[in-house]
Amino acid sequence: MQVLAQPSPFCLVWDNPDPMAPHYWLSHAIIFKSGDDLRQDMLTLQAIGIMSHLWNMEGLDLGMTPYSCLSTGKQVGLIEMVRNAKTVYSIQRSSKLGAIQVDSSQLFKWIRDKTRAQVRQKGHGCLTKPLNNFTRSCAGYCVATFVLGIGDRHPDNIMVNQDGQIFHIDFGHILGNFKKKFGINRERVPFVLTQDFLRVIAKEKEPKGESGVPEVFQVLCGKAYLALRKHYRLIVNLFMLLLPAGMSELQSQDEVAYLRKTLAVEATEEEALQYFQNQFSEAYDGAWTTKIDWFFHYVKHR
């Protein structure tokens, strides 16, 4: 029996016929993808978009990037390409030590160098803004990926644009349906918070011990979490309504119950914040396990 390989995605680019049109790029690009059920990506991105709206209502601008995704048929669809962005993996590969997860400075250096290039080209700009963009968006995605139980968070599924905004892509595993290796969850932390990220948040300082996590970042994450929890019914009902769709990882109310767990809906606000702070500590303390997974990702794909 011949086994056919899954078709590779390909990029479609359109040029803008009117280069003088305001607020338009000179070209637009999308990815055509076949072989994946993009309805799940659509749902996750819609949920992230709703979270961003809820945070804005609460006075929290976390700079989320819920790019567009459209399922056009059975396991086929279109995905928006985010401009001027690279995967964390490609940034780390610019240094051999970064690629093998020894040097945690490459992400900071990439954002710094992009900012310097913009200053040379445009004559203005400073490093503070992209670093703040990274801090806010990292807080948003830490909370969002935890609440939604998004798995498979290797460095090819996390991207950063030249303005410092971090964002996640490829949502094939949600609601705690994490990949397993020999019956053990490959992801052993609630969300990704590596030294690479903390070095940007701390503005290049090498994070050490508990003091390595800036308090302002912890507070921001806590505020974002409590803001979502206030609107838990909206988030839970969104997923409940789509149960009949038959997505691979949204099959029963047990999977929707995952959201009730991560949002600690049965707890008081004080208990819920303590629960999230415990998850935050677990993510920080277990960051080394993420780095090991990322190292093996490098070995596999180099």
Domain boundaries, the chain: 83-301
Supply the pLDDT for residue 7.
62
In this prediction, residue 63 has a pLDDT band, given cuts at 50, 70 and 90, of: very high
**Nearest Cα to Cα of residue 229 among 183, 175, 267, 256:** 267
Supply the pLDDT for residue 229.
96
Superfamily covering domain 83-301: Phosphatidylinositol 3-/4-kinase, catalytic domain (1.10.1070.11)
Share of the chain above pLDDT 90, in %: 59
Residues in the chain, overall count = 302
Q: Cβ distance 291 to 104 under 8 Å?
A: no
Supply the pLDDT for residue 266.
95
* φ, ψ for residue 181, nearest 5 deg: -130, 115
Mean pLDDT to the nearest integer, 128-153: 95
Mean pLDDT is lowest, of 112-121, 182-191, 224-233, for: 182-191
CA-to-CA distance for 282 and 149, rounded, in angstroms? 15
Considering only residues 170 and 188, tell me which one the structure prediction assigns the higher pLDDT.
170
Residue 245, token pair as written in the block? 């769709």
Supply the pLDDT for residue 263.
97
Share of the chain above pLDDT 70, in %: 86
Residue 18 has pLDDT above 90, yes or no: no
The overall average pLDDT reported for the chain is 86
Q: Which helix (H) or strand (E) holds 222?
A: helix 215-229
CA-to-CA distance for 143 and 202, rounded, in angstroms? 19
* φ, ψ for residue 10, nearest 5 deg: -135, 155
Q: Cβ distance 193 to 142 under 8 Å?
A: yes
